[in-house]
Structure 1
Amino acid sequence: MSLELETLGFDNALLPVGDLAEAVAFYERVGLPVKFRLDEAGIALLAIGKETPGLLLRAEDGYGHRPPPWPAARLWLEVPDARAVARSLGEAGITPLDPPFSTSTGYVVEIADPWGNVIGFTDYLKRPELARN
């Protein structure tokens, strides 16, 4: 028997980090602005487009730096041009995991934060009718 579940969309995506200040600095270099930060709670919410929910960073005690596990869960964010994002990341000193790669809808470039969380930036250049406006 399968459950009938009505989902309405995404709420926040949570990423564990070892140091909130370091994580905020990393993601600000990536270009994701902070919506709010509560150091006493060990959390910061990064803005994702015009959405109310965002990317929630949560400090975890004893969570050290690590390379991304393979295969790792990935969070992909839509951008107008993933290859342009790859160039901007390089200019900011952030090395993508691989060069941008082609998908059926466009291109993707992925990065990993110091704790191995993988974030991808994907576009819909091959299928613009599916892109957000």
Structure 2
Amino acid sequence: MSLTSRKSGLGVLGFDNALLPVGDLPEAVTFYERAGFPVTFRLDEAGIALLGAGGETPGLLLRTEEGFGPRPVPWPAARLWLEVRDARATARALSEAGIEPLAPPLSTSTGYVVEIADPWGNVIGFTDYAKRPELARS
């Protein structure tokens, strides 16, 4: 039986932290704070900072990688999407904070999504359930 079958399962309970490699911790923290992520803790000597994501304990863990410089967004790239109430309003707020979305909000089957990329090419999306509110977090 495959490890991915529902019967055997892996016992995954949910997400822990999402680790994002960055080349400069202070610059990364400033970028993500402008995008609305509060710093939960920061340990500069270890090159890490944990950013809050909603009311959940897990968050975005920024980890400095030596010699990791700015890079363009590769396509396709791994993406992390986070739920928001209104992705179009989030796009406007990001623009007002000086963070330009990669593209205008995209219509999906459940709502809208807007994505940003940090200077190291990590892509974060903000998605809503405007078209399927019964699936949204309450």
**What range is the shorter-chain TM-score in?**
over 0.9
Q: Aligned residue for 1:108?
A: 113
C-alpha distance in structure 1 between counterparts of 2:104 and 2:12, whole Å:
34
Q: CA RMSD in A?
A: 0.7
Q: CA–CA distance in 2 between the matches of 1:48 and 1:86? A: 17
Q: Report matched runs for 1:27-38 at 5 Å.
A: 27-38=32-43
**How many Å separate the matches in 1 of 2:58 and 2:81?**
15
TM-score normalised by the chain length of structure 2? 0.95
Cross-structure match for 2:51: 46
Q: How many residues align?
A: 133
Query: For residue 57 of structure 1, what is the aligned residue in structure 2?
Result: 62
TM-score, length basis structure 1: 0.98
Any gaps of 5 or more consecutive residues in structure 2? none
Alignment of 1:1-133 (within 5 A): 1-3=1-3, 4=8, 5-133=10-138
- Amino acid corresponding to residue 2 of structure 1 in structure 2: S
Distance 2:101 2:130 in 1: 20
Cα drift, residue 77 of structure 1: 0.5
CA displacement at 1:2 relative to structure 2: 1.4
1:18-69 per-residue CA deviation (whole Å, 9 max, x = no partner) reads 0000000000000110000000110000001111111000000000000111
Q: Which runs of 4+ in 1 moved over 3 A?
A: none
Question: What residue ranges of structure 1 are gaps of 5+ in the alignment?
Answer: none
Q: Give 3-state SS (helix, strand or coil) of 2:66's partner.
A: coil
